[in-house]
Structure 1
Amino acid sequence: MAVSSGEDKVDRERRLASRQAGEQGLLFDSAVGMPSEHAGYRGPTACTAAGITYRQLDYWARTGLVEPSIRPAHGSGSQRLYGFRDILVLKVVKRLLDAGVSLQQIRTAVTHLRDRGVEHLATITLMSDGVSVYECTSADEVVDLLQGGQGVFGIALGRVWQEVEGSLANLPAENAEPYLEPRPSRDELSARRRARKTG
């Protein structure tokens, strides 16, 4: 007679929930395209795509919560220019605020997201209990959080990515290339490496 322990049942439930989450594709959808890094969006366009007011956009930029990565405002009359990633983060901030997460926790989450590469953002699900924000990169991590009672709601960044991409498809964009720092050529990089080795 085989006796199963409680741990076996938990493991079985975890595997089942993980498989169902993977089959449904609700949390982790990696089928997103890379946005153009040469497209920039003015403040009103960023507001529309992120679902926020211009007052929120301005306040978040002035307080350093979400600053435009392409062109910041320099005095009266200058226009901020936001990149795709900035707008993605703006939409995530809005969702976290709507869920009642504190601005301090949101700042921590935004700082963490800034450190991630764009290609990794689509694989992240942010889970929160309304107080803390947790990063999950697999269905197993989501299940662990839910079983531990920490996760109450989740924001799948892959889904937000698709929503922002869909919104921006119908909105005006500008060429951001003049504002981007030029990337060094291979010759420049080789020269820098040689200088470091000999210097």
Structure 2
Amino acid sequence: MQEALFTHDLPEEMTESVGYRGPAVCRAAGVTYRQLDYWARTGLLQPSVRNPSGSGHQRLYSFRDILVVKVIKRLLDTGVSLQQIRVAVGALRSHGVSELAGITLMSDGASVYECTSDDQVIDLVRGGQGVFGIALGTVWREVEGSLSELPGERPDAEAPAEHPGDELRERRARRTSAAG
């Protein structure tokens, strides 16, 4: 069995004690806010740090959530159906965050396969099933690098009056000032 690249002692920003707002998630994962919002509303990916049911509070996504968002984007970009992506995301939920780094997702464009060892990847390729793969350890490092430059916050902290880069808040402010 392949050993996980990352151990039990995760930095605080990779746990659910720190969350990231939508605009930071979008920058780190390379998706639009509209996509992220749609995925949250349809249940493809619920934010695990804070998922408010009303206005006034921002959704907060964990490191793990952002990792999964980036995987969803890559699968969509390669033509995998949303139905198959939902199956893959469901399978990823069953793993601990540190286990994700040892997983490679393989796809033939129609189905998604979870591989936890090099032998499994080789078997898929030999069988003609694997067309492309996404090594989650690589995605992990990309997200980690992106988030090091973006603000995170604790879910129990008061929302700051100004949050750098909050595009949605800026748009609302412009609309309000234009209407008033």
TM-score with structure 2 length normalisation?
0.80
Given candidates 120, 129, 154, the residue that maps to 1:141 is 120
**For structure 1, which segment, 113-122 or 149-158, has the greater mean C-alpha deviation from structure 2 after superposition?**
113-122
Distance 1:138 1:145 in 2: 11
Distance 2:106 2:30 in 1: 20
Given candidates 76, 89, 106, the residue that maps to 1:127 is 106
Query: Structure 1 residue 84 and structure 2 residue 63: aligned?
Result: yes
Distance 1:54 1:173 in 2: 17
Quote the residue 1:190 is aligned against: none
After superposing on structure 2, the runs of 4+ consecutive aligned residues of structure 1 that deviate more than 6 Å are none
Question: Residues 31 and 78 from structure 1, CA distance in 2 versus in 1: closer, same or farther, beyond 3 angstroms?
Answer: closer
Distance 2:112 2:79 in 1: 11
TM-score with structure 1 length normalisation?
0.72
Whether the 8 Å contact between 2:18 and 2:49 is mirrored in structure 1 is: no
Whether the 8 Å contact between 1:29 and 1:159 is mirrored in structure 2 is: no
Name the SS of the counterpart of 2:99 in structure 1: helix
Q: Which of the pair has more CA radius of gyration?
A: 1
Distance 1:144 1:62 in 2: 37
Distance 2:11 2:138 in 1: 14
Quote the residue 1:30 is aligned against: 5
Q: Partner amino acid for 1:55? A: R
Name the SS of the counterpart of 1:90 in structure 2: helix
Quote the residue 2:91 is aligned against: 112
Q: Partner amino acid for 2:40? A: A
Distance 1:162 1:100 in 2: 24
Whether the 8 Å contact between 2:4 and 2:102 is mirrored in structure 1 is: yes
Quote the residue 2:44 is aligned against: 65
Quote the residue 1:93 is aligned against: 72
Q: Partner amino acid for 2:94? A: D
Question: Residues 70 and 120 from structure 1, CA distance in 2 versus in 1: closer, same or farther, beyond 3 angstroms?
Answer: same
Distance 1:34 1:149 in 2: 37
Query: Deviations for 1:129-156, whole angstroms, at most 9, x for unmatched residues?
Result: 0000001111111110000000000000
Query: Structure 1 residue 166 and structure 2 residue 145: aligned?
Result: yes
Distance 2:34 2:6 in 1: 33
Gaps of 5+ in 2: 158-180
Name the SS of the counterpart of 2:84 in structure 1: helix
Distance 1:174 1:78 in 2: 13
**Number of equivalenced pairs:** 153
Q: CA deviation at 1:177?
A: 5.5
Q: CA deviation at 1:34?
A: 2.5
Q: CA deviation at 1:176?
A: 3.3
The percentage of aligned residue pairs carrying the same residue is: 67
Q: Identify, as 1 or 2, the structure richer in helix.
A: 1
Query: Structure 1 residue 41 and structure 2 residue 38: aligned?
Result: no
Q: CA deviation at 1:75?
A: 1.4
Q: CA deviation at 1:103?
A: 0.3
Whether the 8 Å contact between 1:35 and 1:84 is mirrored in structure 2 is: no
